[in-house]
């Protein structure tokens, strides 16, 4: 409708990675068609080391549940 020719659907599972956390969403995204374009990974730009440290701890605690 708006003339878009490219969409960035973000991450998918690596090739041949059965049981990967992104396995289900990867299939969903591939159903849209198109091609897989591999780009360099993302990085965190830390502005406040203390808040970033606390954020990383919170992430680890959430994953334990």
CA dist 3 and 10 (Å) reads 20
Q: Tell me the per-residue pLDDT of 6-50, one tens digit each, with 9 for 90 and over.
A: 888 888 998 888 899 999 999 999 998 888 888 887 888 999 999
In this prediction the pTM is 0.54
User: Residue 48 corresponds to which tokens in the numbers above?
Assistant: 């406040």
Q: What are the residues whose beta carbons fall under 8 Å from the beta carbon of 13, sequence distance 6 or more?
A: 20, 21, 22, 23, 25, 26
Residue-range definition of the domain harbouring residue 17: 1-65
CA dist 19 and 13 (Å) reads 9
Q: How many CA atoms lie within 13 A of 26 on its CB side?
A: 14
Structural domains counted in the chain: 1
């Amino acid at each position: 409708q708006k003339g878009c020719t490219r969409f960035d659907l973000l991450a998918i599972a690596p090739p041949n990675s059965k049981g990967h956390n992104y396995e289900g969403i990867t299939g969903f995204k591939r159903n849209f068609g198109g091609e897989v374009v591999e780009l360099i990974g993302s990085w965190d730009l830390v502005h406040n080391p203390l808040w970033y440290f606390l954020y990383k701890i919170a992430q680890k605690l959430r994953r334990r549940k």
